């Protein structure tokens, strides 16, 4: 790994999945030309709290991700998950499809479409009382880091991130939580990222879970106690982190 690389691209570990069980309660709408999973809070709040949910390669419409979005919404957040894969996320891939080729092809359309989606979100939901947070899993991590750098959000969170380099941390200008322990973001890179955040006096929080692998926060096996606890604690930690900056 290059010494300047913080987090590697998506790899074969991203395809390992245990599908969870549950009934999603959100709905799907078009926002800015992107199908978006929308999970509404149970009741209006004085401050409009919005979580931008930037999914891994399984996409925001995958059941596991829908259930996580519904979890955040149950605590008073409006949660918006754009399908920047345009229906071509991992659940829809034919067997044997080359992951690296697909990721390479998928990134540019996602990056190009995201600003229009974000503008549509702000046009529809933005008020003087709206506070945006963003969470990114794997593929979604760079979007979060960019928004933490340009002050789009009041706080960001990453879980098992991919496609990051040192510049993402050097530009960081908003609070960040890292929930991480995996092959694509190994110890040396994680410590380097932390060194940068310390030197820049960033506001951050780091969660590291032993005994789990890349993808645990979305695709961990709920029948394995360590994986279930890490997945649930990651979601709780992210929710609590966002609560600090949206109260």
Point out the residues that are catalytic: 138, 182, 214
Work out the widest C-alpha separation in the chain, in whole angstroms: 49
């Amino acid at each position: 790994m290059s010494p300047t690389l913080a987090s590697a691209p998506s790899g074969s570990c991203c395809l390992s999945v245990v599908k969870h069980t549950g009934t999603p309660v959100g709905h799907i709408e078009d926002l800015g030309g992107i199908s978006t999973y929308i999970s509404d809070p149970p009741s209006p709040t004085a401050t409009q709290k919005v979580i931008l949910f930037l999914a891994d390669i399984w996409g925001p419409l995958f059941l596991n991700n829908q259930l996580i979005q519904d979890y955040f919404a149950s605590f008073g957040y409006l949660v918006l998950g754009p399908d920047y894969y345009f229906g071509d996320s991992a659940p829809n891939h034919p067997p044997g499809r080359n992951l690296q080729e697909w990721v390479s092809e998928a990134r540019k359309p996602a990056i190009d479409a995201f600003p229009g989606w974000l503008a549509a979100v702000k046009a529809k939901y933005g008020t003087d009382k709206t506070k945006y947070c963003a969470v990114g899993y794997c593929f979604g991590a760079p979007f979060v880091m960019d928004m933490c750098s340009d002050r789009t959000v009041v706080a960001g969170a990453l879980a098992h991130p991919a496609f990051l380099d040192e510049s993402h941390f050097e530009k960081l200008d908003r609070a960040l939580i890292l929930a991480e322990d995996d092959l694509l973001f190994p110890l040396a890179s994680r410590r380097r990222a932390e060194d940068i955040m310390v030197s820049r006096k960033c506001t951050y929080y780091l969660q590291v879970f032993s005994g789990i692998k890349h993808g645990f926060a979305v695709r961990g096996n709920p029948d394995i106690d360590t994986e279930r606890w890490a997945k649930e604690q990651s979601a709780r930690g992210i929710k609590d982190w966002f609560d600090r900056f949206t109260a």
